[in-house]
């Protein structure tokens, strides 16, 4: 490999949050012109390190050089000059401002400090066009608060793709994107690298993507560098997973705990017997969602979202014809759906999933409280909460910590945990493994399979075809305009058919 002076050089970085020691002498170096995959299990410290580089956290000790200068202290931060650009894992857009304002504000501030509507729109259109020209034309005037999670992710990325950055920090930018959008993002990254010698630090738990885009990888484990700048060609997936280590092979004790946690009886279990299939129909597409089935939804977000909103009582109006036991099914809202035995895990973790101001225990018990509509004894809640933490190997200080102290993937596990004890007759999941590391993904698959084996019908929307192929008996595919195009069954569920039916290459 070419010997160059690193653009970023981090040595012996140490960072703790109170008693939690996260980085324990971590080293990483990034060269100009490379895509550097930054890998590690959930809670390993990737986002923490990115926030240290981008000045959102202070390191306790260690040296950090960027472009030949020490970072931190009183000097002007490269983030403020635009030399370092960052896309954080949890998006940081202002919902009451327009797309144009969100993209342009930071840059206008740098140039003149004067806000111009026209200039903002031009900047925003240019930036968004890099990833999605059509979205650029239609979205600049819209309020960010009205966008879907998926659209917000595109806006956040566009904001970072401005001119002038030498280092781009991308903390799971593709977690909410379809394969097609990810492909466009990668094309932009490659172009910027060839034109400007940009360096990219890229966090993702999607192995295939990492191999598509990254040149080298650094793996963090137990707060230290487990693998330092290995070329990706020189390391196998298996080795990567082994180096990430962390939760260890799924151990039998945890499996037993998971069984116990799932089998906890609740009122809902008796009230929402499994058994009757749900029939969903639109034009000539018909799908039976029977007990124990794991049904995948694939394609651009519009189609799956519309069906999910209909199934979970979010949509007031729907084109879908949904019946159970011959009668139309329609709920007045998500709580009514929950009480009728329909579980829902939103893909928009930050806005529609995690209750940010409430401790972990309340987050774990939220669905049960809504369904049972009674006061559940505190002791019972604590016991169940603790057994869920153990079963899912959720690393949290205590049940009274706030979710903001948990890593992104760990927050996702909390959302899944919410429904495990309730045995809904239908569980609707939007990207439930978003941001979840490879090992933990397998644990979540196993948990969902167990629920299905007990009779819960599962509807699973994923933008990752591999996941749908691994998990689903049947997949309903949608085209780019959101129309259902095909129902694939059993051996038909493969990546080629999914790409054909959705109009989106994998």
Report if residue 407 touches ligand ATP, rule: CB under 6 A: yes
Report if residue 36 touches ligand ATP, rule: CB under 6 A: no
- Write the secondary structure of 179-243 as one string of H (helix), E (strand) and C (coil): HHHHHHHHHHHHHHHHHHCCEEEEECCCHHHHHHHCCEEEEEECCEEEEEEEEHHHCCHHHHHHH
Give the chain's length. Answer: 506
Pick the stretch among 35-43, 189-197, 351-359, 457-465 that binds ligand ATP (CB under 6 A). 35-43
Report if residue 45 touches ligand ATP, rule: CB under 6 A: yes
Report if residue 40 touches ligand ATP, rule: CB under 6 A: yes
Query: What part of residues 442-461 is at the interface with ligand ATP (CB under 6 A)?
Result: none
Return the beta strands (E) in 54-113 as ranges: 61-66, 69-70, 84-87
Q: Whose Cβ is closer to ligand ATP: residue 56's or residue 386's?
A: 56
Report if residue 21 touches ligand ATP, rule: CB under 6 A: no
d(CA 213, CA 350): 27
Report if residue 246 touches ligand ATP, rule: CB under 6 A: no
C-alpha to C-alpha distances, 316 to 43, 286, 498, nearest whole angstrom: 38, 21, 30
Query: What part of residues 73-92 is at the interface with ligand ATP (CB under 6 A)?
Result: 89
DSSP state, 492?
A: G
474 contacts: CB under 8 Å, gap ≥ 6: 287, 293, 294, 295, 296, 487, 488, 489, 490, 493
Q: Whose Cβ is closer to Mg ion: residue 47's or residue 98's?
A: 47
Residue 42 partner contact from Mg ion, ligand ATP, none using kind-dependent CB cut-offs of 5 to 8 Å: ligand ATP
Question: Which residues form the interface with Mg ion (CB under 5 A)?
Answer: 46-47, 89, 408
Query: Rounded to the nearest whole angstrom, what is the least distance from the CB of residue 205 to ligand ATP in the complex?
Result: 7
Q: Whose Cβ is closer to ligand ATP: residue 48's or residue 474's?
A: 48
Which uninterrupted H or E stretch holds 53?
helix 46-53
Q: Whose Cβ is closer to ligand ATP: residue 42's or residue 346's?
A: 42
Query: What part of residues 368-387 is at the interface with ligand ATP (CB under 6 A)?
Result: none
- What dihedral angle (degrees, nearest 10) is formed by the CA atoms of 138, 140, 144, 145? -50
Report if residue 484 touches ligand ATP, rule: CB under 6 A: no
Pick the stretch among 6-14, 146-154, 298-306, 403-411 that binds ligand ATP (CB under 6 A). 403-411
321 contacts: CB under 8 Å, gap ≥ 6: 280, 281, 282, 328
Report if residue 174 touches ligand ATP, rule: CB under 6 A: no
> Is residue 82 classed as helix, strand or coil in its secondary structure?
coil
C-alpha to C-alpha distances, 21 to 18, 60, 410, nearest whole angstrom: 8, 11, 17
Residue 40 partner contact from Mg ion, ligand ATP, none using kind-dependent CB cut-offs of 5 to 8 Å: ligand ATP
Q: Whose Cβ is closer to Mg ion: residue 299's or residue 408's?
A: 408
Q: Cβ distance 344 to 337 under 8 Å?
A: yes
Query: Rounded to the nearest whole angstrom, what is the least distance from the CB of residue 314 to ligand ATP in the complex?
Result: 27
| Binding interface with ligand ATP (CB under 6 A) | 17, 20, 22, 40, 42-48, 89, 395, 405-410, 435, 437
């Amino acid at each position: 490999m070419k010997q160059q002076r690193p653009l970023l050089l981090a040595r012996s970085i140490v960072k703790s949050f109170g008693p939690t020691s996260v980085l324990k002498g971590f080293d990483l170096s990034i060269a100009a012109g490379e895509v550097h995959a930054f890998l590690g299990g959930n809670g390993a410290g990737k986002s923490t390190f990115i926030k240290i580089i981008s000045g959102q956290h202070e390191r306790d000790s260690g040296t950090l050089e960027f472009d030949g200068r020490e970072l931190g202290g009183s000097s002007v931060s490269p983030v403020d000059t635009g030399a370092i650009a960052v896309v954080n894992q949890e998006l940081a857009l202002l919902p009451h401002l327009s797309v144009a304002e969100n993209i342009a504000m930071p840059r206008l501030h740098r140039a003149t400090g004067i806000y111009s509507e026209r200039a903002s729109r031009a900047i925003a259109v240019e930036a968004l066009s890099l990833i999605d020209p059509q979205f650029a034309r239609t979205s600049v005037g819209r309020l960010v608060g009205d966008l879907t999670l998926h659209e917000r992710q595109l806006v956040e990325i566009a904001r970072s793709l401005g001119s002038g950055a030498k280092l781009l920090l991308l903390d799971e930018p593709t977690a909410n994107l379809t394969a097609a959008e990810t492909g466009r993002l990668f094309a932009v990254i490659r172009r910027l690298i060839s034109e400007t010698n940009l360096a990219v630090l890229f966090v993702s738990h999607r192995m295939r993507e990492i191999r598509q885009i990254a040149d080298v990888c650094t793996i963090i484990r137990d707060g230290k560098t487990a693998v330092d700048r290995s070329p990706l060609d020189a390391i196998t997936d298996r080795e990567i997973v082994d180096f990430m280590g962390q939760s260890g092979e799924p151990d039998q004790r945890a499996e037993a705990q998971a069984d116990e946690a799932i089998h906890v009886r609740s009122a809902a279990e008796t009230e929402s017997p499994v058994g009757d299939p749900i029939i969903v129909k639109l034009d000539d597409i018909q799908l039976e969602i029977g007990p124990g089935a794991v049904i995948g939804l694939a394609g651009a977000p519009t189609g799956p979202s519309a069906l999910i909103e209909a199934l979970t009582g979010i949509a007031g109006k729907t084109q879908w014809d949904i019946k159970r036991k011959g009668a139309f099914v329609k709920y007045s809202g998500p709580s009514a759906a929950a009480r009728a035995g329909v579980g829902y895990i939103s893909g928009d973790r930050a806005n529609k999933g995690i209750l940010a101001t409430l401790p972990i225990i309340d987050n774990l018990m939220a669905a049960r409280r809504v369904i049972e509509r009674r006061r559940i004894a505190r002791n019972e809640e604590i016991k169940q909460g603790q057994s869920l933490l153990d079963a899912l190997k959720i690393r949290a200080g205590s049940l009274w910590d706030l979710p903001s102290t948990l890593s992104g993937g760990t927050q996702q596990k909390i959302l899944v945990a919410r429904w495990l004890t309730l045995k809904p007759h239908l569980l609707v999941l939007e990207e439930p493994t978003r941001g979840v590391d490879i090992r933990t993904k397998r644990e979540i698959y196993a948990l969902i399979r167990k629920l299905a084996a007990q009779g819960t019908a599962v509807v699973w929307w994923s933008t990752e075809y591999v996941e749908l192929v691994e998990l689903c008996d049947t997949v309903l595919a949608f085209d780019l305009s959101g129309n259902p195009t095909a129902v694939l069954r059993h051996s038909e569920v493969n990546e080629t058919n999914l790409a054909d039916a959705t109009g989106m290459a994998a």
